């Protein structure tokens, strides 16, 4: 029997490199700011209530589903993100505001955060709210971005909801699981070189590692640009020349991992081991290790990594589908089916699990089970299966008695009864 893949066993690489390739700030006097230009702190605002947080979570998911970049971008308070990113650098409120206005075009433009995520939406991904949790002493909102048809990997984001000065609830920061960093931390690394050039005092405030990192930023940006163009070998050559202090930064290590993964398995494993030594308890480690385990066909290790990730996010039924994929690679179809059914039980609206069970039944030619699955998927998610006659995997089903029953059902139900948020449309996933 041909091997059946439920999902690709990888995690999404979206936004594990810097938010933008380069941020240009206006040139200004290198003189240090006068003593009176000290950082200004805004008065504390009342935190959002639970009702406000949940309403905000719905707004995030709905704006993603609408595919509206301005709307999805508007749920983030980028001024707050910039303030957090520049904290401790001795900048005045005026200087911080100038920086915000200069970088906003990059943060919210065609290569910004919202644009990168919404590119996945155009390929059928959906942004699902998993629930509230505590991080750093405050309530945060955990979201899963998962593919609709298994074409790309899963990713997790924690939005930090706070009240903006205008009274609206927005995300003051976002924790990206795969990078193991907040967006503000990522942005800080991008801003440091230019800010340090503007003031010797700011540069002196940086620790030795940050000072070395500032010097290597041009090459890091060059390598990131090459990665974006698919020139992995050229990018890896640059990463190999970076100084050890720079290679202790996550963004440099993860970039080198991506380049090495496509070019040199030995280098990939060496960098993976270095990452594990530097960040042994990092929440993104298991997401990276999963890729490493699959590269070595270490399926027990992969399952353990998925278990730890499941615990880290507080439980996600989507990860049962990833477990099912590993079980199939192990040749354990019963265990795979058990994981799929558990995913359906835990999250009945997870379209991918229903599709996976249907495909598994197709693979083993159990057409008596395929038919009710197709009916349920059309009714729940609006998937019409209009093109199954052209799909090789449906060839046996079309020759079966159940195909006539399917045609009869379609005549009685020409339009889906409802459509789920992750509907794949008219084509058969």
Distance in angstroms (rounded) separating the CA atoms of residues 422 and 417:
15
Distance in angstroms (rounded) separating the CA atoms of residues 396 and 236:
47
Residue 427 pLDDT > 80, yes or no? no
Residue 291 pLDDT > 80, yes or no? no
Count the Cβ atoms, other than its own, within 10 Å of residue 100: 18
Distance in angstroms (rounded) separating the CA atoms of residues 21 and 63:
26
Query: What is the average pLDDT score of the chain?
Result: 82
The domain segmentation of the chain, as residue ranges, is 1-18+48-188, 365-429
Q: Which two tokens stand for residue 365?
A: 């030619």
3-state helix, strand, coil in the chain (%, to 5): 55, 10, 35
More confident residue, 17 or 74: 74
- What is the model's pLDDT at position 295? 77
| pLDDT, tens digit (0-9, with 9 covering 90-100), for 305-324 | 899 899 989 999 999 999 99
- Cβ pair 164, 83 in contact under 8 A: no
Q: Which long-range contacts (C-beta less than 8 Å, at least 24 apart) are formed by 45-49?
A: 45/162, 45/163, 45/164, 45/165, 46/163, 47/138, 47/139, 47/162, 47/163, 48/161, 48/162, 48/163, 48/169
Q: pLDDT grade, residue 241 (50/70/90)?
A: very high
More confident residue, 13 or 236: 236
Residue 38 pLDDT > 60, yes or no? no
- What is the model's pLDDT at position 22? 38
Collapsing DSSP to helix, strand or coil, 220 comes out as helix
Q: Report helix angle 93-108 to 78-85, nearest 10.
A: 120
The third-level CATH classification (topology) of the domain covering 1-18+48-188 is Nuclear Transport Factor 2; Chain: A, (3.10.450)
């Amino acid at each position: 029997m041909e091997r059946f893949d439920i999902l690709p066993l990888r995690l999404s690489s979206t936004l594990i490199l810097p938010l933008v390739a380069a941020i240009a700030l206006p040139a200004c006097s290198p003189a240090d700011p006068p003593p009176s230009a000290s950082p200004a702190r805004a008065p504390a605002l009342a935190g959002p209530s639970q009702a406000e947080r949940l309403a905000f979570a719905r707004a995030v998911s709905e704006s993603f589903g609408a595919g509206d970049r301005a709307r999805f971008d508007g749920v983030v308070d980028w001024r707050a993100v910039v303030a957090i990113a520049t904290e401790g650098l001795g900048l005045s409120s005026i200087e911080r505001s100038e920086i915000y206005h200069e970088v906003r075009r990059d943060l919210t433009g065609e290569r910004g955060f919202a644009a990168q995520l919404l590119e996945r939406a155009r390929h059928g991904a959906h942004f699902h709210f998993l629930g509230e949790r505590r991080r750093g002493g405050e309530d945060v909102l955990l979201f899963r971005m998962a593919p609709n048809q298994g074409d790309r990997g899963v990713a997790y984001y924690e939005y930090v909801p706070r009240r903006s000065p205008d009274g609206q609830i927005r995300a003051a920061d976002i924790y990206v699981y795969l990078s193991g960093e907040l967006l503000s931390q990522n942005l800080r690394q991008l801003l440091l070189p230019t800010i340090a050039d503007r003031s010797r005092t700011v540069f002196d405030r940086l620790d030795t590692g940050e000072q070395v990192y500032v010097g290597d930023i041009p090459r890091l940006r060059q390598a990131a640009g090459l990665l974006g163009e698919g020139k992995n070998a050229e990018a890896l050559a640059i990463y190999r020349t970076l100084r050890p202090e720079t290679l202790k930064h996550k963004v440099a290590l993860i970039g080198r991992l991506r380049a090495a993964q496509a070019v040199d398995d030995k280098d990939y494993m060496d960098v993976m081991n270095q990452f594990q030594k530097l960040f042994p308890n990092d929440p993104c480690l298991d997401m990276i290790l999963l890729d490493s385990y699959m590269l070595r066909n270490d399926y027990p290790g992969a399952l353990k990594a998925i278990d730890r990730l499941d615990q880290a996010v507080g439980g996600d039924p989507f990860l049962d589908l990833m477990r099912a994929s590993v079980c199939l690679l192990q040749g354990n179809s019963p265990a795979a089916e058990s994981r799929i059914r558990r995913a359906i039980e835990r999250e009945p609206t997870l379209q991918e699990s229903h599709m996976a069970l249907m495909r598994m039944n197709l693979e083993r030619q159990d057409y008596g089970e395929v038919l009710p699955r197709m009916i349920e998927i059309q009714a729940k998610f609006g998937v019409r299966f209009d093109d199954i006659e052209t799909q090789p995997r449906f060839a046996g089903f079309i020759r079966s008695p159940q195909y006539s029953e399917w045609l009869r059902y379609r005549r009685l139900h020409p339009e889906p009864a409802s459509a789920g948020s992750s509907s794949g449309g008219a084509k058969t996933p």
